Amino acid sequence: MKKLILTVVVIFGVTLVNAQDKTAKEYKIEGADAYKAKDYQKGYESFEKSINLYEAEGKTDTTLYYNAAICALRVKEYEKSVNYFNRSIELEYKICKSNLYKAKALKKLKSYEEMEEVCISSAAKCPKYEKKFNDLLFNYYLQSGLVPFNNAAKMQSVATPLAQSDADKYNAEMEKVKAEFKKSLPMLEKAHNMKPEDENCIRALKQVYEILDMKAKAASL
């Protein structure tokens, strides 16, 4: 009798385990449902499980890599996101959108050179998304240029009172200010070339030109 009970328990246990197993297709559906419900963590996990199961079977579901990448981006799994977008691009699935979101993930990873390369090359190949790639690049250039610009402006505000009390020290500090402003120039010029009409960029760039005694360039803005 005890042996019979044990056998029933074991069989029942196996049945429970099997009932909990899901196929790659079922995980894909689960991921899609989670994505629609904006449960991106569950969506990411389900899509990844589906990918792993399909790959174990030697199969490829093209859409899964893009879907997993989007969810990974949403839950700040940026490296995973880039990897899945790369696979999506290799499979030629939503190449333009994959590159756009890949660029955003690269920015989060502070992989700026690669992000810049992706934006420049993709903007030329994806006219529908050209503005979005260019906006991403412009914001990167402007923000990067404003970091040393703002540092220099703070340094200048500290140095300015010295002009009346200690001319030598003022001149020495202003040389440091100019050196810091000069660091902002390459990125601000790139930003200006992309959006010549942007007022924030124009004001910052003009101030840099004036501080660096580049009067002709300042007058041209």
pLDDT in tens, 196-218: 999 999 999 999 999 999 999 99
Rounded to 10°, the helix 167-194/130-159 angle is 170
Confidence of residue 24 (pLDDT cuts 50, 70, 90): very high
**d(Cα 31, Cα 68) in Å, to the nearest integer?**
9
Amino acid identity, position 134: N
Q: Which CATH architecture has domain 20-112?
A: Alpha Horseshoe (1.25)
**d(Cα 42, Cα 30) in Å, to the nearest integer?**
8
Q: What is the pTM of this model?
A: 0.84
Dihedral angle computed from the Cα positions of residues 187, 193, 198 and 201, in that order, rounded to the nearest 10 degrees: 30
